[in-house]
Structures are given as structure tokens and as C-alpha cells.
Structure 1
């Protein structure tokens, strides 16, 4: 039986070497002429005899110890991971300001992947602001740099290379962070209320200065969108060709479940849904397999996929994806064979090989668009803008509201951010409508003037005859006073 090492705190290599020395003394191999002489055994290597039991035991033990030593030398300090699985970084003590940023991140995080990603981006912007205000050093929690208003102005000036919308986002994120510190009153933050309120006031002033530039920027972006609006014929052509190509893509994927075949099908399905409904990309990224499986249907077999996680879910609830019976069969067929495809164990419908959201949907859609021989390289946002523009031009008010409810945005949002400017035809229609209104007013001038006079008349501008006609509530006669000298009431 092997003896254990007395030092329990020693390293594994030292423990193994100690065991080797003990075994060498306890299980002695074939000795020379003078058995038991340890010093002579150390100076001269023992001769190994084939039939010596001690030699065989020692040889086996030495071999085992060498294998254990090699194992310890080559041992990977990190645990084994699955393919595409991220390694957890070593947890170290974070600086105080990083802990404060983490607290703010927990406060602003949402429920969807996109909301959490936006929250992390906001933290990154505030971190860059802290680095600038601290001259690249570690920010102190007394926020002494806020005592110098010129430094805050210089930081805003350093953002001049960004678009005006990006500048406004940076300023708004920093303001939200300081507002959080003002209201949360964290123990680690030693900045005074006066200092925080002063910084928030300065940020509000900087943000107001961007208002005029922001309006001009929006107009420029809208004019650019107006030039890039997709032809409705191209969108309709893609829908028709995708309807014929999706069943073939499903067969190809079932026969060869390769990533490229999976992504090709994703490009067709995502493009079909976006061109059909005008939804944002986030609706597709948030769509779960269970939501597709549990889609309610009517008596004709039509289904509506109700997506819970998307950008405007807090205001509009579920994003609706209505599908005909034949179209829903594509999704159901994909789910039936889903376990064979290289997408991991993910609850998302459009998932990558790691099980996360497939972020290359737009790229795969553009490849399908090009395969169909259609011009350009449209994005999902451009398709949404084009559809919203067509809706605003062609449908009546009630239909507009229904379609925009399906697209999860309001009429005001559509007019500001999505609908393109008026084209030449619409502009001249508006001109004729304006001229018609002026002509009608010219033909009936007296009616308009009388209405204006009635609106501007007040009790202080009543004529004398109007005042005299008013009934008196007193039995005493009332004289009208016109301001003449010497006239008094009797």
C-alpha cells in the first residue's frame, strides 16, 4: 500500500515525487552485494532482473507516476466547451465607476435582445464620456469634473464629426445617466445634487442647440429616402418568385442540411414576410418556434403568428404575421425537420448555428433578391419605407390605420420617419387643391368676411344700438354712457 505525503498543502507534482521516494525505499528492487545500503544504491543504478518482483512493481509505479506528471503538465486550465460556446472571462474586482455603470445597465435593460443591446450601447457611450471628462484616467465618484462647465462644452464639440442625430443620442444618454444618479442616490456616488442638476441643465441647453440642425438633417434623410424608394413592381415580383422558390429550398435543405442551405431558406422566408407586411427586422429576430407552432387559425386554415418580443411591443403588443394556409405549411414543415438542421437547441425560429438570433438575415435576403434578377440592394428598412409610402398615397384613412397598426407604428411616426416626400404628381395635386381653395374663397368673399368679423368681435366693441337692444334686468332705467363730459347717471 502506497504511503501518503505528510504535507497536504504541497503541489500535486511534489506529492507525486514524495510518493516515488517512499515507494523506492519500501519496495526495493534486486539489490547488489550489500543489501540495505541506501547510499550505495543512490550512487550506483540497480540492475534489473527479469524475475525480480520488486523490479516489476517499481517499474509499473514509475510508469504510472510519469503519466500523471505528463497529464499535469499538459492539463488545460479551462474547462471543455461546446463548439461556438463563449468562454467565461476571469472575474476580477471592478472599479467603482464600472459598478455604477452596471447598476444603471440593470435599470435600463429591457426584455428583448434588441432592448438589451441598446442598453449596452448606452452604457458604452456614457463610459466614453467619463473617459473624456477624466482625461483618460479612472473617474472619481465625486464627479469633480462637473465643476468645469467648459469641459462639458468641449466634449460636445468633440462629437462634431458624428451625425447630428448621433450627437443628440450621446447627450441624451449622458443626461439620463446623471438623472439616474440624481434620483437613485447611490452610496458610492458622492456628487452633490447641485453639481448634478447643473450638469443636466447644461446638457439640456446643448441638446436644444441641435434642434434646428436636427430638422434639416431629417429633411435631408427623407429626401434621400424619396430618391431610393423601391418600385412596387419589384416588390411584387419578389413575392411571386419567392412563393415558387421556398418549397424547393425546403426540399434542398431536407436532403442536404448544410448551413448555406439553411441560410438561403432564411433569406427567402424573411424577405417574403418583410415584403408582405412591412415589419421591422426585429420582428423576425424575436420570432420563436413556439409562437409559430401555436399560431391561431380560422376555419379556412389561415394563421396569424403573434410575435411578443419586438421594438414597440410595449405600445402595440404582439406583432402580427398573417399567413395563408399554403404559406404556413412552409413554416410548419421547417419546424418538423428542425432537429436535423445546424442551428443548435434554440427557441428562436431564425437562429444561427450557436442558437442565437441570425443577424445576417438582410444579407441572405439581398442574395435572393439578386438571384431573382431584381435591381439594387435593398434593406429591410428601405422596404418598410417603400410600403409605408405606398400606403400613405393609395389608401383611405381607415385602411391606413389598419395597415400601420399591422406594421406597429402610428400615422405620426409614419409621416415623420417612413413616408417619402411628395413626388411631382403629388406636388401638383397639392398645388391644384390649394388653388381650388383660393378660388372658392374668391367666389364667396362676403361669407368669409362675415365669419371673420363675428370671430373677432368682443363685448368691448359692441355698437351703441347693440347695447341699447340688450334687455335690462333692473326696473330702474339705464342710460348708456358714451364718455361725454358732464353726463351722470340719475
Structure 2
């Protein structure tokens, strides 16, 4: 060990050994290196074979002549050489992949600036709809790609039998028929997109894409009948939840009395419960009058409420709500409020800075967060229950009830006005209304069938004209012909039929003479 320590000249081992020996340790030191004189040190022992190693000029130089150290250094140098080889291999692979990527990028069509989902200016609802479509398409792609490895070529889509199996799996998952139809329509849109703009690695021919589009369209046609039956059943269920007129009138009268009391209590306490109660009673009051969707109240902004003051006329304030579900077809949804009702809104806005989240609020029905209130339907139902009214309706139930009462009460012209104001399309409702009649309407249809076979039969070829009134028929006065001076003379041109007939008459007359 002393000979080995002598080889490490960089270590200050002699001073350390002398200090350790001065402490008189219990265990005696085995080394006497600190007691030897450097000038009288014994010659180093020569290891057999070491002269040959030093004689080789190409042999690696080791800082230590100990065989153990030499083996360790040799092993480490071998590891370094192995790692360098691996680095060279990975570098070549990286260069190869980079070259292929650049080649594929040059072959791919140019891409524009990436757009966010839903377009340049997406609304939260549009972003949600796009997310739903992407989820349905991913569900289809995951089912079709199960067990396949070459996914970039989209060859796994060429399986019409598996498409039918995917459709059956949706039915087994107890998904509603309209939702299954939405799955199929979104997949059809995706396949149409792939057909028009195939990805660079797509290996599906145009003939295959035409077959896939035909298959998905046949699946859509197969569910149409079930969708209609489901929608009729939903219509029947909605009519079963029809709110009576008396309940709607009672809700309007009761909330009109309760809203000022809630505002007075909220001004004193600034309690969140009173704020939610005001939300529920105010939306119940307006919904039972106009039948708007809950999204109309949810998206009503403070600026739209304040802007109604500028267009007030004869004590009527019109609030125009731009963001709602059917704004593309009907424009802004409107709320016509009286001066008393507008006073409720301005009184609440006057105290909003004292409420949590009111200082930076953008929506009228605000919360502690900058987003709009998502629980208006819950607050509406709580207000409805607090008024001791029957049932637990939603905004949709109120809307359906008002549309049904307007259909049964008003004339078609007035009903159209009401439907337009509440942003309601009557075409879909009339479609299922014709398929789902109540007892009174069905009895009226029976009377029409019975009256069709009453009376004597008319002879063949002379169908009877239906009479709309029992009074005598009044003959229509015929319009007299225009005077001769006003009749337009026919212009005789060279190729006109009148000129040709006169020419034929003259030629016949000459031949007879």
C-alpha cells in the first residue's frame, strides 16, 4: 500500500499520516510512510511485463501503474468508445429522418395560418359544437383503427362491414337515435373532407372513397325512420309537461310582487342567496311572458340593458340580445319591458359594485367569475317552487307551453308574430304537430272523414266541387272587352303567319280565275 501511495504524488498523504499518528490512535497505523526518509527510500518493485508495456509507444498511457487501475481505465475507455459509436448511429438516423421529413413537407400541399376551432371569431357555443364533432369522429376512427398499425395511410377505413359494426355498437350503447344520426352525419362530413383534400400519406383511391361515402349515407337513411318516431315521442312527452295558462299567469303575478322585496333585501344584506333569488324570479317573470330560451337571459349583457334607455318610447324599453342560439335566422332576441320592469334592472345594476364580481361584470346575470351564469335554470326552478306552483318546469317547458297556447289561441297571422318575437320556428313544430294530435283535434279529423262519404254520389267524370258557404252563389261580373280603338293591331311582318295566310288566299284566287 505504501508503494501505491508513493505513486500518487498529487496527494498530500505524508502530512495527513503524521497528524493522524500524533493523535496516538487506539488501532496502530499499518503504514510507516511518514517515518521514512525520502532520500533513503527503497527502490520501487518492478512488475513483470511492465517494461514491455512501457516499451510499446502505441500503448495507452495510464496515470497509475496499478493493474487494477489500468483495468478500470481500460474498461471506461471501452465504454466511452461504445457510447461514441451509439452517438454516431443516432446522428445518422436523425439526419435520415430529417431528410425524409423535409421531402414529405415539400410534397404536401401548402398550409395556411392555423385557425382556431370554429373559425376566426369562435363563440363559446361554436367551440363546444366543434369539440363534440371532433369527439364523434375520434370515436369512429378509434373503432375502425383497432388492430391496425399503418394508420397514416388511412387504409383501415376501407372496411364497410366494420362501419356497420360500429353503427351497431352505438345502438348497443343505448344512445338516442338523433344522437346516432349526428354521429353518422359528422363521419359523413369527415369522409367528404378526406375525399376533397386527402392527406399526403393517404393511400385510399377515389373509387374507395366514393364507396365509403355511399355506405355512410345508407346508414344515415336507415336511421331516419327511427329518428322521426323518437321525435314524435319527445313531442308527446313535451305536451305531457304542458304548463296550464293559469300557472303561467300566477307566476307572472307572484314574481311581480316578489322582485321589489328581493331587491330591497339585497340592497341591505348583499347576500349571495338573495342575488340568486333575484335571478330566478326575474327570469321566471320574463320567461313566462315571452318564452325565450335560457341562453337569451344567460347572454344578456349590461351594455345591452343600458342601451335600451336610448331607444325608449312611450314608457317601453326594448332590450336587444345579440348572442343566442338562433340569431342567424331571427337576428337579435328582444325583450320589451315597461318602465317599472326596467327600474328593477337599473336598481340591480346600481348595487352591482357591492356584490362579488360586480365591479368587472360584463353579463347582466354575473357571478364571481367573468363568465355568464350557468345556473339560471336551477334558480328559476327554485323560484318556481318557492311560489308553490305545480311541477318543476324548465325554460324549455315554458317555451313549449307558450308556443302551444299561441297556436291554439291566436290566428295564424298573430301566431306567426308571436313565434318570430320569441325566435321560434313553427315549421318543425307543425311537422310533428300534424303527426301528434290530441283527442279534440283527432275528433275533428274524424268528422272530416265522415263528411267526405255523406251525400249522393256524383256521376263519373263530374267531380263535385266543395262548397264553402250555404248561401246562393253570386255570379261574377265579366270584364267587358276593350274598345276597338285600344286593341293593338297585329304587325304584318314578312314572316308573320297572317301575311302567309293572305298570300295563300290570293294565290288560290288567281289560279281559280
TM-score (norm 2): 0.63
Q: Is the 8 A contact 1:302 1:325 kept in 2?
A: yes
Post-superposition CA distance 1:254-291 (Å, at most 9, x none): 22223222211111111122111111112112211111
2:347 paired residue among 322, 327, 333:
333
Residues 188 and 377 of structure 1: is their aligned pair in 2 closer, same or farther, counting only changes over 3 Å?
farther
Q: Distance in 1 between matches of 2:377 and 2:435?
A: 22
- Counterpart in 1 of 2:128? 117
Residues 261 and 214 of structure 1: is their aligned pair in 2 closer, same or farther, counting only changes over 3 Å?
same
Residues 258 and 153 of structure 1: is their aligned pair in 2 closer, same or farther, counting only changes over 3 Å?
same
Please, which runs of 5 or more residues in structure 1 have no aligned partner?
1-39, 41-99, 453-472, 477-490
2:196 paired residue among 170, 177, 183:
183
Query: How far apart are 1:226 and its partner, in Å?
Result: 2.0
Pairing 1:276-355 to 2, within 5 Å after superposition: 276-295=289-308, 297-343=311-357, 345-355=360-370
Residues 104 and 381 of structure 1: is their aligned pair in 2 closer, same or farther, counting only changes over 3 Å?
farther
Query: How far apart are 1:199 and its partner, in Å?
Result: 2.4
- Counterpart in 2 of 1:148? 159
Q: Is the 8 A contact 2:242 2:397 kept in 1?
A: yes
Post-superposition CA distance 1:199-224 (Å, at most 9, x none): 22211110100011112111211222
- Counterpart in 2 of 1:380? 395
CA RMSD in angstroms, aligned pairs only: 3.2
- Counterpart in 2 of 1:254? 267
2:420 is aligned with 1:409:
no
Residues 329 and 211 of structure 1: is their aligned pair in 2 closer, same or farther, counting only changes over 3 Å?
same
Q: Distance in 1 between matches of 2:431 and 2:149?
A: 42
Q: Distance in 1 between matches of 2:306 and 2:460?
A: 64
Residues 178 and 326 of structure 1: is their aligned pair in 2 closer, same or farther, counting only changes over 3 Å?
same
Query: How far apart are 1:354 and its partner, in Å?
Result: 1.0
Post-superposition CA distance 1:111-136 (Å, at most 9, x none): 43323222222222222222222228
Q: Distance in 2 between matches of 1:142 and 1:421?
A: 49
Q: Aligned pairs, how many?
A: 355
Of structures 1 and 2, the larger Rg is shown by 2
2:183 paired residue among 170, 173, 179:
170
- Counterpart in 2 of 1:31? none
Please, which runs of 5 or more residues in structure 2 have no aligned partner?
1-18, 20-110, 466-500, 506-513
Query: How far apart are 1:166 and its partner, in Å?
Result: 1.0
2:142 paired residue among 120, 131, 144:
131
Q: Is the 8 A contact 1:104 1:180 kept in 2?
A: no
Q: Is the 8 A contact 1:320 1:406 kept in 2?
A: yes
1:423 paired residue among 401, 413, 438:
438
Post-superposition CA distance 1:157-178 (Å, at most 9, x none): 1100211111101111122222
SS at match of 2:393: coil
Q: Is the 8 A contact 1:164 1:213 kept in 2?
A: yes
SS at match of 1:374: coil
Q: Distance in 2 between matches of 1:398 and 1:199?
A: 47
1:362 paired residue among 360, 370, 377:
377
Q: Distance in 2 between matches of 1:189 and 1:106?
A: 23
Q: Distance in 2 between matches of 1:122 and 1:234?
A: 40
Residues 294 and 447 of structure 1: is their aligned pair in 2 closer, same or farther, counting only changes over 3 Å?
farther
Q: Distance in 1 between matches of 2:203 and 2:275?
A: 54
Q: Distance in 2 between matches of 1:172 and 1:246?
A: 46
Post-superposition CA distance 1:97-155 (Å, at most 9, x none): xxx9x979725687433232222222222222222222288993322211111111111
Q: Is the 8 A contact 1:112 1:286 kept in 2?
A: no
TM-score (norm 1): 0.66
- Counterpart in 2 of 1:389? 404
SS at match of 2:320: strand
- Counterpart in 2 of 1:245? 258
Q: Distance in 2 between matches of 1:292 and 1:422?
A: 41
SS at match of 1:210: helix
Q: Is the 8 A contact 2:319 2:335 kept in 1?
A: yes
2:462 is aligned with 1:449:
yes
Post-superposition CA distance 1:44-77 (Å, at most 9, x none): xxxxxxxxxxxxxxxxxxxxxxxxxxxxxxxxxx
Q: Distance in 1 between matches of 2:316 and 2:302?
A: 18
Query: How far apart are 1:446 and its partner, in Å?
Result: 6.1
SS at match of 2:365: coil
